[in-house]
């Protein structure tokens, strides 16, 4: 998560601190009359700890770290500011100053007579600190402990699911998903379907085809149609030398998820073999034309990237895709009589371009991911070069 912009951070912290001060010193009405802080303080708040004012000065002069040190020192000395501790701890964590957040929450937990609900809240906050710091085993243990508290169970399990995802502990992620489903707090079932596919892919890697099939059947019960499961079934068929089935399944996966085209077109054509290649390409072109200009463009780009621009069934498709786009048309007209070279150059560009982008967070990548490495969303990758070149 990016840091808050400095101004937003200052505003939040100022509001927080003013809130505390207003609460402690009954300032509310007087503060709205305006005037400088020191002036007001000098006139009306003789008992105000001078460090508060110093801290606020640091804020005003944009020295948030020094301000935070000051407020932390003051709050360490005060016994009745639990909510403020939580708010400041969360702000530190968001700023990435995790060690300070941990210190705040550990201080809280070390207090005698801390109310049980505050202890649970502090444990949850500390677990989130460890998660942010990347100390996953500690975060996991704490989230598990907090999950026993009914009030915080959904938050703790949701975080725990994230921890297992980051560790690629797919079985545990799935178990946690099921626990969340039981309290009606689970994310969409597509997520469970992906966990099952991750597990199936692992089984496939170790050659356990039957176990992989069982998991894929379960995945399809969670989400259908589900291109990822279809793709894995195509791999199984290929491994078992059932070429026709592998082609059918792969085409079906591409139909369900056209984003896969750039990655999977070469596999599909390899399965078809040189004698069937042109017939297959002609069918794909006809289908893409039916589905619209976007799909035809995606197919043409995938073919160009796979160095297929010379294939006869693509000639008309290349012409219509290039001439319908202002930028591409300029390239195309310049290279008239030498279309294949233009397509090759574009292919080289495409192969080095970040072809995909996460629709959720904007993370761009050259390869397709089912699970965004940046924001951990599932199945949010879309073709990026298409957008950029449009």
Is 154 or 365 the residue whose CB approaches Zn ion more closely?
Answer: 365
CB 212 within 8 A of CB 232: yes
Contact positions vs Zn ion (CB under 5 A)? 358, 360-361, 363, 372, 374-375, 377
Closest distance between Zn ion and the C-beta of residue 9, in Å?
24
Q: Can you tell me the distance from the alpha carbon of 26 to that of 23, in angstroms, rounded to the nearest whole number?
A: 6
What's the Cα-to-Cα distance from 209 to each of 174, 197, 198, 214, rounded to whole Å? 20, 13, 14, 9
Q: Can you tell me the distance from the alpha carbon of 217 to that of 214, in angstroms, rounded to the nearest whole number?
A: 5
CB 98 within 8 A of CB 126: no
Closest distance between Zn ion and the C-beta of residue 135, in Å?
23
Q: Can you tell me the distance from the alpha carbon of 33 to that of 56, in angstroms, rounded to the nearest whole number?
A: 18
Is 71 or 195 the residue whose CB approaches Zn ion more closely?
Answer: 195
What's the chain's length in residues? 390
Closest distance between Zn ion and the C-beta of residue 374, in Å?
5
Is 170 or 363 the residue whose CB approaches Zn ion more closely?
Answer: 363
Is 361 or 389 the residue whose CB approaches Zn ion more closely?
Answer: 361
Closest distance between Zn ion and the C-beta of residue 176, in Å?
21
Is 84 or 380 the residue whose CB approaches Zn ion more closely?
Answer: 380
Closest distance between Zn ion and the C-beta of residue 272, in Å?
34
Is 245 or 361 the residue whose CB approaches Zn ion more closely?
Answer: 361
Is 158 or 211 the residue whose CB approaches Zn ion more closely?
Answer: 158
What's the Cα-to-Cα distance from 149 to each of 120, 145, 153, 156, 195, rounded to whole Å? 8, 8, 6, 9, 26
Closest distance between Zn ion and the C-beta of residue 369, in Å?
9
Q: Can you tell me the distance from the alpha carbon of 305 to that of 292, in angstroms, rounded to the nearest whole number?
A: 20
Closest distance between Zn ion and the C-beta of residue 28, in Å?
43
CA 59 to chain centre: 33
Closest distance between Zn ion and the C-beta of residue 95, in Å?
22
Is 237 or 372 the residue whose CB approaches Zn ion more closely?
Answer: 372
Q: Can you tell me the distance from the alpha carbon of 51 to that of 74, in angstroms, rounded to the nearest whole number?
A: 8
Q: Can you tell me the distance from the alpha carbon of 388 to that of 390, in angstroms, rounded to the nearest whole number?
A: 6
CB 297 within 8 A of CB 322: no
Q: Can you tell me the distance from the alpha carbon of 160 to that of 92, in angstroms, rounded to the nearest whole number?
A: 21
- Sign of the Cα torsion 251, 253, 257, 259 reads negative
User: Percent helix, strand, coil in the chain (nearest 5)?
Assistant: 75, 5, 25
Closest distance between Zn ion and the C-beta of residue 23, in Å?
40
Is 284 or 372 the residue whose CB approaches Zn ion more closely?
Answer: 372
């Amino acid at each position: 998560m990016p840091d808050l912009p400095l101004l937003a951070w200052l505003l939040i912290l100022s509001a927080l601190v003013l809130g505390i001060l207003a609460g402690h010193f009954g300032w509310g009405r007087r503060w709205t009359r305006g005037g400088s802080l020191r002036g007001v303080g000098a006139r009306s708040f003789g008992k105000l700890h001078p460090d508060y004012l110093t801290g606020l000065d640091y804020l005003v002069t944009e020295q948030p770290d020094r301000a935070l040190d000051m407020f932390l020192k003051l709050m360490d000395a005060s016994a009745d500011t639990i909510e403020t501790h939580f708010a400041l701890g969360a702000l530190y964590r968001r700023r990435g100053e995790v060690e300070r957040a941990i210190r705040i929450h550990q201080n809280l937990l070390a207090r005698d007579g801390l109310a049980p609900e505050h202890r649970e809240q502090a444990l949850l906050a500390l677990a989130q600190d460890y998660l942010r710091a990347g100390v996953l085993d500690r975060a996991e243990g704490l989230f598990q402990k907090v999950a026993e508290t009914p009030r915080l169970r959904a938050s703790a399990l949701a975080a725990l699911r994230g921890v297992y995802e980051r560790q690629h502990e797919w079985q545990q992620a799935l178990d946690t998903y099921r626990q969340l489903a039981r309290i009606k707090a689970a994310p969409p079932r597509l997520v469970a379907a992906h966990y099952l596919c991750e597990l199936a892919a692992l089984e496939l890697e170790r050659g356990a085809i039957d176990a992989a099939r069982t998991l894929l059947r379960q995945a399809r019960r969670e989400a259908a149609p589900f291109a990822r499961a279809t793709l894995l079934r195509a791999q199984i068929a290929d491994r078992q030398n059932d070429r026709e089935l592998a082609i059918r399944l792969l085409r079906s996966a591409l139909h369900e998820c056209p984003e896969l085209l750039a990655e999977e077109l070469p596999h599909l054509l390899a399965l078809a073999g040189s004698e069937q290649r042109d017939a297959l390409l002609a069918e794909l072109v006809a289908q893409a034309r039916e589905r619209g200009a976007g799909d035809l463009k995606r197919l043409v780009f995938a073919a160009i990237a796979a160095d297929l621009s010379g294939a006869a069934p693509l000639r008309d498709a290349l012409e219509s895709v290039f001439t319908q786009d202002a930028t591409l048309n300029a390239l195309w007209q310049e290279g008239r009589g030498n279309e294949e070279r233009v397509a090759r150059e574009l292919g080289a560009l495409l192969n080095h371009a970040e072809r995909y982008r996460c629709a959720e967070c904007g993370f761009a990548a050259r390869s397709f991911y089912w699970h965004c490495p940046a924001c951990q969303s599932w199945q949010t990758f879309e073709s990026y070069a298409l957008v950029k070149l449009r």
